[in-house]
Each structure stands twice: as C-alpha cells, then as structure tokens.
Structure 1
Amino acid sequence: MARGLHLFQARRRSTRTAVCGAVPRCVVRFRLVTFLRSVAVFSILTFLKYLSRLFYKQDFAFIGDAPRDPWANIRLVVFLNHTSLFEPIFLGAVPNRFIWRLAAHGVIPAADKTTGRPLVGLVFKFVAHHVIPITRQRDHTWFAVLNKIDPKSMVVIAPEGRMKRATGLDMHGNPMTVRGGVADILQAAEQGRMLVAYSGGLHHVQVPGHIPNVFATVRMRVENLDIAGYIAEQMAKGGAEQFKRNVMRDLEQRRDMYCPEELQKTA
C-alpha cells in the first residue's frame, strides 16, 4: 500500500510539472503569434504609407495648442468627414511609431458590411491589431469593442458610422451626424490624448466604380486634446445624462469648423 501511495504521489508531481511547463509554453506561443501579427500589420501599413507618399501630396497640419510631442500617449483617434475606404492614404502623413502603435495596440470598430466583403474585408483585417466587425446597433458587437480597450489600447473610430457622398449627405440623403459610441470609448479610455482628425474628403481621389485619381493632394487637419479635460468639459454642460449628446454635438461643430474644403476632381 505504501508503494501504491508513493506511485500516486509521483504521478501527481509529474502531472503538476507537465501542466506548469505547458502553461508557460502556451503563453510564449500566444505572445509570439501576437507579436508576429503586429509585425505583419506594421509591414502592410508602412508599405501603404510610402505608397501613399509616392502617389499623393499630403497637406497635413495640426491646429490649436498641440503638445510638444503630438504623437505621444494617443489613446483615441476620432476620424471625421468619412468619405471613402481609401482613407489609409492619410497614413502618408503619420510617423512610423504611430503606425506601430496601431499595429501593436490598435482597436478599430469596422462595419460588418465592410469586413464581410471578399477582398476589402480581408485587407481591413490587417489595418490594426484588433479589427472588430460591428453592426449599426448597440449590441454584443459594440461591447466586444469596449472589452478590447485596455491601458495600452489606441482606438480609431469614424463616429459618423457611414460615408458621406459627394452631395454632402449619406447614401439615404440624410445629413451626416456623429453617433454616440465615441462617448463610450472616451469614458473607457478616461485619460491620455485624443487626436481629432478632420479629413478634407477623398471624392476627388476615388469615386466608387472608377479608377482612383493619382498625383492629387489629400488634406487633413488634426487637433490634439486631453481626454480627461475633454470629458470634464462635456460633463460640465449638463452632467452624465447629457454627456453623450454633448460629445456628439461638439464633434459635429468641430467637424464643420475645421474640416478643410473638399477639392474637386480634375479631368
């Protein structure tokens, strides 16, 4: 019986050792896969950056009181005046360390209609570390985005939620409005810096169904804001109950004030 007890204890020690050895191996494997994905995304985005510089002139500038290092501690990028899926063209104006942040810690909510396309959807899966398909509803897909936000995350969102047509309206003929999800992300991030990117539009570059126009100028203005200060400012206008509405209204006003005038397509 004593011998049987010794054998049982020996097996337990052996099993414990195997489990303890397997856990670190799983962690190492996961970290390796994560790192390799980051490298792959960074390589693709860097290629797009220099391809953009080759074919397009970047008219890019910060507005307002930008900090000495406007690319440091970015937690949220709010992209306004969404007009085209060609918007990775604007990567031509950003530094490589911003691209690495996107590749290693980027979280992008993307319309499930876009990510579900055969070719475009595949490309979009490699524009950030986490690309999360979402519906137009506040459902489990949206909470999946919020659950991905951690202290190192950098979220990139187009809060209008749909593209503006050349008419200045959306595909249904409605005015372009900001949706409330960006307020959820602000509260999840809590602190750090926010870039508000004001696009000059890309209707002069790419019209759906047509060959893109190259050697054109693309325009963007960017504002760098402190997230905690911005939250406090919007909360002061009516408290938590009005916070989301105030954020939506404020971003629409900033967009209308700061977006560069759209260029016209040349013949």
Structure 2
Amino acid sequence: MNKLVSFLLMAKVKLLAHLFYRGRVNWLSQEKEESLNDVRLLVFLNHTSLFEPLFIRFAPWRFVWQVAHKVVVPGADITLERPMTGRILKVLLPGCIPITRQQDESWQHFLSHVREDVITAILPEGRMKRRNGLDKDGNPMSVRGGVADILSRLKSGKILFVYSGGLHHVQVPGQRWPKLFKTLRVNMEMLDIADYKAALNQQGEGSFKARVVKDMNHRLQHCVPE
C-alpha cells in the first residue's frame, strides 16, 4: 500500500511539474531511456533544493513506477524529522532510510539494503548548495565517498547520472514556496556499472574510494548544465 501511495504522489508531482514548469534534458551518453530497466544506481549531482522531486518530470512513467517500488535512498535524519518536510519525503520515498552525519552504524544499516534487485539512489554531496555556491557552513561543495561503498556491493546493471542545472531560480534553501513557470534543466548519462568500475580500477592511483570521489567531483564541476 505504501508503494502505491508513493507512486500516486510521484504521479501528482510529475503532472504538476509538467503543468507549471518547462523542461530541457540533454543526454551525454548514447544509451538513454531504453536502458532504464537496468538501472541499479541513480546518482544525483548538484543538490540545491528540497524541491528536487520536480525532476521526476523527466522520468518515463514506467521508471516512476520502478522508483516507487524499488528505490532505497539515504536521507539525513534531521531532514526526515522535520514535521512537514519529513512526512512528505517518507510518503514520497518509502525506501528512504535515515542516516546521521556521523561515522556510525546508520550508514552500514543503509548499505545493508543495497542489492541488485533494487534501485539505490544517492545525492553524494550530502548537503545542499546555498545561493553563494557554498554549503550552509560556508564550505565548498564536494562529493563524499558514499557512492564507492554502494558500488562495492554492485556487480552489474547501469548507473544513471542525473546532473541538475540547479533550482535556486525555483526555490532557495530556507524559502518556503517555489516560484512557478521556470525552466528545469538537466543532463543525463547512462553507464555500465562493470565498465565504470573497471575503468576506475585501471587508473592505479589511490584507493578505489579516492578514485570514485575524484571522478564524482569532476562530474560535479563539468557535467552539470550551464
């Protein structure tokens, strides 16, 4: 029942996003929507707003159904504990698993849910970019090592990279209501998990996690829309 409610809420968000926002999507890979059934890891880069569910506008209906039924995603416990935002996210994403920002058992608990029969989604920066381009503590945005931990548990399937053009023109963190009739921009890229891991392993410098972080930071800097 929770998954059906999740799908219906995602469908509502998708319809509203089509109604109130324009969309521009650009694929950076030859593989596109035809490989969505094989996606096992979804990496969303350039986290700027809690209104990012609007990007579901770009997902085909069959993938929306898959996300509602199969996705697991880590969510900051402080966000999930908010009275309104947390309640909405829990209904929208029943596979959202709370984690802390500490190196504790909550991350290992999340990793125990990563399997090849689900879709694991992650926002690897771990915090939102503010209007000045920094996080809320004034630090530069960068990627953390969670993607590497997930990849170590996956052997096959596809990675879908979703590079957000940012939503500060729609809603800035701390602002209650979004602005309407704006354009949502996104780049997407589909890669094979085994090929991606093999390419990183051939680099031969640093640990696997360090190579993943370096690659993700490069993508954050160079693959998001202008």
TM range (shorter): over 0.9
- Computing the radius of gyration over CA atoms, which structure comes out larger, 1 or 2? 1
Which residue is equivalent to 1:146?
111
Q: Pick the structure with more helix per residue.
A: 1
- What is the root-mean-square deviation in Å for CA atoms of aligned residues? 1.4
Cα deviation code 1:16-75 (max 9, x no counterpart): xxxxxxxxxxxxxxxxxxxx2211111111111101111111111211222571312110
Within a 5 Å distance, the mapping from 1:50-129 to structure 2 comes to: 50-66=15-31, 69-129=34-94
Which residue is equivalent to 2:215?
250
Partners of 2:89 and 2:33 lie apart in 1 by: 32
Partners of 2:180 and 2:33 lie apart in 1 by: 33
1:232 alignment partner, SS class? helix
Partners of 1:68 and 1:125 lie apart in 2 by: 27
Cα deviation code 1:70-122 (max 9, x no counterpart): 31211011000000000001011101111111111110100011001001001
Please report the TM-score for the alignment, with normalisation by the length of structure 1: 0.81
Within a 5 Å distance, the mapping from 1:1-267 to structure 2 comes to: 36-66=1-31, 69-207=34-172, 208-238=174-204, 242-261=207-226
Task: Flag the structure with more relative contact order, 1 or 2, with Cα contacts below 8 A and sequence separation at least 6.
Answer: 2
Partners of 2:55 and 2:208 lie apart in 1 by: 30
Partners of 2:88 and 2:117 lie apart in 1 by: 24
Partners of 2:210 and 2:193 lie apart in 1 by: 17
Partners of 2:177 and 2:92 lie apart in 1 by: 22
**233 and 171 in structure 1: CA distance in 2 versus 1, 3 angstrom threshold:** same
Structure 1 residue 236: Cα displacement: 1.6
1:38 alignment partner, SS class? helix
Partners of 2:38 and 2:15 lie apart in 1 by: 24
- Structure 2, unpaired ranges of 5+: none
Please report the TM-score for the alignment, with normalisation by the length of structure 2: 0.95
Partners of 1:176 and 1:71 lie apart in 2 by: 29
| Residue-pair matches, total | 225
Structure 1 residue 145: Cα displacement: 1.1
Partners of 1:256 and 1:138 lie apart in 2 by: 26
User: What is the identity, as a one-letter code, of the residue corresponding to 2:138?
Assistant: G
Identity %: 44
